[in-house]
């Protein structure tokens, strides 16, 4: 076995895993609050990429301005979806939320399609160079993805564990009525959670876009995999989302290289079936509510 090729696969796995974990983190946070899988989360990923494409490609701004603009705009879209759609369905059966979420996904995709068309778009990497790591090459964009994801995960962890506002999100996920009875406002917590999930999805998309392409359907496969990840990791579990993201990222990168590139997307779902038949509660079930 060639060592530098092996290291290459590790780096690829980390890159993919970072993107998946960021998307899955937002999904799992919203699941903790809403108790429904938010299918429209994939559209936030798409929206983030297009906002950055607009800011960088059409307005000619700097990549980082595009990244921050996309995070803010997508956080706003996510908050708007909470206000206009999900908060109004709070007392209805979960099925209604799911249908609404799918509707929202199709709506946002259609808006992107109407404005930018079905063509694939490219976002140029801010630093097109490469760097050498352990005898192999690593494009700087991939290093940015890995470093960015790790930075955001640490920041999110500190936010949830060390700040009062972060604790209210965790409290609301662990016991909604208990949280209301100590005076935590459900609306405020929901809005903050949706904003964070939107921003994380957008940042993941903008980091990923330079090594991928932008299209209206780009969020679909990512969101399906994010679901696989939070099911694997345990619905609502933050460490589970990170570890699950890495497992899927590594499985895809090694699977594509050592088995077949054509099977890359099947691997995530095969893994889902395999792990769930052995451990139906997921790898890290969230604490009982």
Residues that bind other proteins (CB under 8 A): 164, 167-168, 170-171, 174-175, 177-186, 286-289
How far CA 274 is from CA of 20, 233, 239, 240, 243, in Å, comes to 19, 14, 20, 17, 17
CB of 167 to other proteins, least distance (A): 6
CB of 53 to other proteins, least distance (A): 40
CB of 22 to other proteins, least distance (A): 23
CB of 289 to other proteins, least distance (A): 8
How far CA 281 is from CA of 38, 83, 178, 187, in Å, comes to 20, 32, 24, 29
Residue 52 near residue 70 (C-beta atoms within 8 A): yes
The smaller minimum CB distance to other proteins, of residues 164 and 278, is found at 164
CB of 47 to other proteins, least distance (A): 31
Distance CA 231, CA 147 (A): 25
The smaller minimum CB distance to other proteins, of residues 150 and 170, is found at 170
How far CA 62 is from CA of 56, 59, 78, 91, in Å, comes to 6, 9, 24, 44
Our CA angle for 282, 284, 289, nearest 5°, is 95
The smaller minimum CB distance to other proteins, of residues 175 and 261, is found at 175
The smaller minimum CB distance to other proteins, of residues 128 and 287, is found at 287
The smaller minimum CB distance to other proteins, of residues 172 and 267, is found at 172
Tokens of 100: 């609404």
CB of 178 to other proteins, least distance (A): 3
Nearest Cα neighbor of 195 from 282, 73, 112 is 73
Distance CA 192, CA 173 (A): 13
Tokens of 249: 């990222």
The smaller minimum CB distance to other proteins, of residues 98 and 186, is found at 186
């Amino acid at each position: 076995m060639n060592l530098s090729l092996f290291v290459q696969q590790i780096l690829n796995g980390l890159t993919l895993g970072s993107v998946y974990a960021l998307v899955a983190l937002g999904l799992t946070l919203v699941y903790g609050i809403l108790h429904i899988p938010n299918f429209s989360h994939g559209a936030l990923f798409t929206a983030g990429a297009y906002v950055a494409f607009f800011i960088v490609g059409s307005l000619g701004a700097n990549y980082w301005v595009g990244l921050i603009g996309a995070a803010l705009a997508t956080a706003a879209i996510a908050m708007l979806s909470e206000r206009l759609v999900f908060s109004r369905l709070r007392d209805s059966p979960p099925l209604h939320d799911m249908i609404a979420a799918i509707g929202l996904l199709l709506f946002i995709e259609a808006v992107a399609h109407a404005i930018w068309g079905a063509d694939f778009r490219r976002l140029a990497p801010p630093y097109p160079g490469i760097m050498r790591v352990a005898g192999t090459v690593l494009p700087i964009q991939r290093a940015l993805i890995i470093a960015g994801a790790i930075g955001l995960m640490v920041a999110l962890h500190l936010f949830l564990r060390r700040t009062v506002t972060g604790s209210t999100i965790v409290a609301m996920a662990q016991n909604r009525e208990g949280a209301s009875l100590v005076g935590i406002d459900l609306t405020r917590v929901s809005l903050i959670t949706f904003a964070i999930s939107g921003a994380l999805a957008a940042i993941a998309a903008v980091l990923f876009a330079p090594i991928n392409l932008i299209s209206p359907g780009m969020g679909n496969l990512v969101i399906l995999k994010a679901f696989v990840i939070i099911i694997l990791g345990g619905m609502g579990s933050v460490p589970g989302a990170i570890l699950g993201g890495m497992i899927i990222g590594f499985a895809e990168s090694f699977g594509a290289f050592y088995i077949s590139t054509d099977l890359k997307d099947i691997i995530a779902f095969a893994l889902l079936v395999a792990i769930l038949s052995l451990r139906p509660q997921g790898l890290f079930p969230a604490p009982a509510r």
